[in-house]
């Protein structure tokens, strides 16, 4: 047999370990894989979060066209993650088309500099999914109406005053009559 020496180099980033039940693959963005174990280890080796999550695919072209997949996480309970305010919903952006891995982070930083009322907070991480290192990801807050995120009044049918903030998405994949 051959003998090999392997040198392990730490990237200096926090590591997110996610293990799905029975190593279930995440193959769709429609169905959650529930009861996955999630552990976040800081750069000093200290465990920063240890719990359970649901995970599914995320994105449109980024989900279907590229080998490195983006993911949506839904923790079982709200948690502060890597200094970002507590919430259940988090996004793992794969940044596959951006070989610098900086475009999204730079756009968020520029948004912060303009003092816009809300910019998703984010941190670079390494992702290990079911024991396999799948690469560098940008862990970001999922944009949600919430006091710790997009702090605007969520309208109901009973609201007479419709002034204030709105959350709109323009999606080039037209699957609805109204495109916003």
Q: For residue 174, what are its two tokens? A: 């037209």
Q: Is the pLDDT of residue 161 over 80?
A: no
When pLDDT is averaged across residues 103-109 and rounded to a whole number, the result is 92
Predicted confidence (pLDDT) at residue 31 exceeds the cutoff of 90: yes
The residue that leads in pLDDT, 51 or 63, is 51
Question: What pLDDT, on a 0 to 100 scale, did the predictor assign at position 178?
Answer: 62
Side-chain half-sphere of 67: how many Cα atoms within 13 Å? 2
pTM assigned to the model: 0.84
Stretch 68-81: mean pLDDT = 96
The tens digit of pLDDT for each residue in 110-136 reads: 998 998 888 899 999 999 999 999 999
- Check residues 93 and 5 and name the one with the higher pLDDT: 93
Residue 21 to residues 34, 35, 72, 100, 102, Cα–Cα distance (Å): 8, 7, 17, 33, 33
């Amino acid at each position: 047999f051959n003998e090999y020496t392997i040198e392990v180099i730490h990237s200096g980033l926090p590591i997110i370990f996610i293990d799905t039940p029975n190593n279930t693959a995440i193959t769709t963005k429609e169905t959650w894989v529930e009861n996955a174990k999630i552990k976040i280890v800081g750069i000093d080796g200290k465990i920063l979060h240890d719990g359970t999550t649901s995970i599914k695919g995320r994105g449109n072209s980024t989900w279907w066209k590229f080998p490195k997949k983006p993911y949506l996480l839904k923790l079982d309970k709200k948690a502060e993650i890597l200094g970002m305010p507590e919430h259940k919903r988090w996004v793992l952006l794969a940044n596959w088309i951006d070989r610098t891995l900086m475009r999204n982070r730079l756009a968020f930083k520029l948004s912060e500099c303009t003092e816009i009322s809300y910019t998703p907070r984010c941190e670079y991480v390494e992702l290990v999914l079911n024991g396999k290192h799948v690469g560098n990801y940008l862990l970001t807050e999922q944009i949600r109406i919430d006091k710790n995120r997009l702090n605007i009044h969520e309208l109901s049918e009973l609201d007479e005053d419709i002034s204030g903030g709105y959350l709109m998405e323009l999606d080039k994949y037209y699957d609805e009559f109204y495109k916003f």
